[in-house]
Structure 1
Amino acid sequence: MTQRAPILLIDSPSLYFRAYFGIPESAARTGDGQPVNAVRGFLDMLAQLIRTRRPDRMVCALDHDWRPQWRVELLPSYKAHRVAPAGGEVVPDTLSPQVPMILEVLAAVGITVVGAAGYEADDVLGTLSVTQPGPVEVVSGDRDLFQLVDDARGVRLLYVGRGVAKLDDCDDAAVRARYGVPADRYADFAALRGDPSDGLPGVAGVGEKTAARLIDRYGSLDGILAALDDPGAGFAPGLRTKLVAARDYLAVAPKVVRVALDVPLPALTTDLPTAPADPERLLELAERWNLAGSTRRLVDALAGARA
């Protein structure tokens, strides 16, 4: 029996931020001068993904809460440096208006979009990765999603660190080769190493190599913490001191890093359309926002995906 095509799960914020910073505003504007660089770039990325991966199912995940309170309560520094003075996330002024535009185009095309109150897009992707029939391909430039890779279930990460044209198609062996730990230990590894972009301080003096070595030796962060109480566990004195000093942080950081797998999501249709759901609306939006080329490429990709 032929294996079905993977469902393509899209980390929408990751892609539209990348599109925004990758395409100059001057290169993509509406007739009245409004920037649409993020919209155009996002749609072109989707078109290329559909054209090259040939999925028959797709879901675009959204951040309904980019900094969930339950994560902040565990670790107050979580994304704290990205909070705007008036509250909310620091987002470029010319990007914010483009997100609703992206959603309007996706609705006209008929591509499913979903988010959940109190959760980030990562959590939506994680939940879909374990609830949707596999195989699964998650598309993101967020390193935290390496933890979703699961060879047994056929879950892979298409990492866009070098762009959609140069995807890193990652299984567990690829995660091990990149970081020295299996995918199911990535959250522990990230907690040890830290991640300034998310406000995770990590353990002072512990970089990627030391974090991987510790997990390889003790199996997990729980194993590392348990070994701290064993004088014969073999820690270098300086490293033991650093880990002991970070014990309180290490007790909560993995819970912050771990992607939720149990987000309450509505029933949704994952089938990828072969033609726009509302072609007249799509044509209207394309003309209004100067997106004719991008929408045409997306429609052509949909038509060809299952040809």
Structure 2
Amino acid sequence: MLLDSASLYYRSYFALPESIVGPDGQPVNAVRGFLETVTALVRDRGSRQVVACWDYDWRPQWRVDLLPSYKTHRVLEESDEAEEETPDTLGPQIDILRDLLPRLGIPVVGDEGFEADDVIAAFAHQLDGAVDIASGDRDLVQLVDERVTLLYTGGTSASRGGRPWQVLTPQSALERFKVPARLYADFAILRGDPSDGLPGVRGIGDKTAAALVSAFGDVEAIIAAAVDPSSPKPMTSVLRQRLLDAQDDIRLAERVVRLQPDPRWREHEPHREISRDAIDVAEAYGVGPATRRLLEVLT
């Protein structure tokens, strides 16, 4: 199981009250929520090999160079550098997780210049057998196939089974987004995504984007259809002009959005040994019971 760590700890931070504190009186709500979420995921899916994929660079410069609007709304307004706005009481909890998880046999994997999505894409491609991805980031829908399942924790609605996540397979992703999972990135490029600063194409929303992707395929095929005056509906003269006007921006956005496995992760073998002091460290942080419950399902 591959964890989109930032997605999970942010969600936990805002879901649980800061009145949950450790021995030093500091909040550990995000830590406890993270551990409880992973426990529920592992128990439900039966995945005992877990990797915490980490945002060591949440806004890589190469993506910003291609698309300056990329995640700009998350940058501190009065900062000279691209520093993400993190609540004061969350930062120390992120450090706790980064210290505690490896002690539980859950490696923390990432590198400068890469987002967690990049690491997840690499592992999803290189690992053998079934792979579960736990995240609230819809960008990862593009990785879903017959072998890779997305446990989508975003949104407010639970799945039919009462779980606080939705199980997205190729079929359920198609039902939800009206496009094949492998073409989700193309759909997002066309309709835009304010959460990532993707502008999209003027006048194209979910319905039109899904219709174009369903009819023609990926963005290159859609641009080719716009060039061809004989292309059938849903291509119209208005859409044709808008797509041609935006084709350079579409191609730049494609390079930003489409996840490509980096070869540096191919030889990485996560370390999964549980430290002898795992429980003692967890108790010191004030999350002993949650840690014990997680270890019970991992071992």
Length-normalised TM-score, structure 1: 0.89
Task: Count residues in correspondence.
Answer: 289
- Give the superposition deviation at 1:78: 0.5
Q: Is the 8 A contact 1:119 1:263 kept in 2?
A: no
Alignment of 1:1-307 (within 5 A): 8-26=1-19, 28-84=20-76, 85-86=78-79, 87=81, 88-151=83-146, 154-161=147-154, 162=157, 165-234=163-232, 235-265=235-265, 267-270=267-270, 277-280=274-277, 282-303=278-299
Distance of aligned partners of 1:198 and 1:122 in 2 relative to their CA distance in 1, 3 Å threshold: same
- Give the superposition deviation at 1:101: 0.1
Q: Is the 8 A contact 2:151 2:166 kept in 1?
A: yes
1:214-238 deviation line (CA, Å, top 9, x unaligned): 1112222111111222222243232
Deviates more, 1:204-213 or 1:225-234: 225-234
- Give the superposition deviation at 1:25: 0.6
Structure 2 letter corresponding to 1:239: L
The separation in 1 between residues aligned to 2:263 and 2:280, in whole angstroms, is: 35
Distance of aligned partners of 1:262 and 1:73 in 2 relative to their CA distance in 1, 3 Å threshold: same
Q: Is the 8 A contact 2:202 2:242 kept in 1?
A: yes
The separation in 1 between residues aligned to 2:103 and 2:228, in whole angstroms, is: 61
Structure 1 letter corresponding to 2:84: E
The separation in 2 between residues aligned to 1:9 and 1:185, in whole angstroms, is: 21
- Give the superposition deviation at 1:192: 0.3
1:118-177 deviation line (CA, Å, top 9, x unaligned): 1100010000000011211111110010000121xx111111124693322111111111
The separation in 1 between residues aligned to 2:164 and 2:29, in whole angstroms, is: 20
Q: Is the 8 A contact 1:147 1:186 kept in 2?
A: yes
The separation in 2 between residues aligned to 1:241 and 1:144, in whole angstroms, is: 27
Q: Secondary structure at the match of 1:264?
A: helix
Q: Is the 8 A contact 1:146 1:175 kept in 2?
A: yes
The separation in 2 between residues aligned to 1:224 and 1:133, in whole angstroms, is: 33
Q: Is the 8 A contact 2:66 2:256 kept in 1?
A: yes
- Give the superposition deviation at 1:265: 2.4
Q: Is the 8 A contact 1:57 1:271 kept in 2?
A: no
- Give the superposition deviation at 1:71: 0.9
Structure 2 letter corresponding to 1:250: I
- Give the superposition deviation at 1:240: 2.3
1:32-68 deviation line (CA, Å, top 9, x unaligned): 3211111111011111112221113221100111011
- Give the superposition deviation at 1:258: 0.8
Structure 1 letter corresponding to 2:12: A
Structure 1 letter corresponding to 2:18: E
For structure 2, list consecutive stretches of 5 or more residues without a partner in the other structure.
Answer: none
Structure 1 letter corresponding to 2:72: A
Distance of aligned partners of 1:16 and 1:263 in 2 relative to their CA distance in 1, 3 Å threshold: farther
Distance of aligned partners of 1:121 and 1:223 in 2 relative to their CA distance in 1, 3 Å threshold: same
- Give the superposition deviation at 1:279: 3.0
Distance of aligned partners of 1:240 and 1:267 in 2 relative to their CA distance in 1, 3 Å threshold: closer
- Give the superposition deviation at 1:244: 2.5
Residue 3 of structure 1 corresponds to: none
The separation in 1 between residues aligned to 2:269 and 2:238, in whole angstroms, is: 54
For structure 1, list consecutive stretches of 5 or more residues without a partner in the other structure.
Answer: 1-7
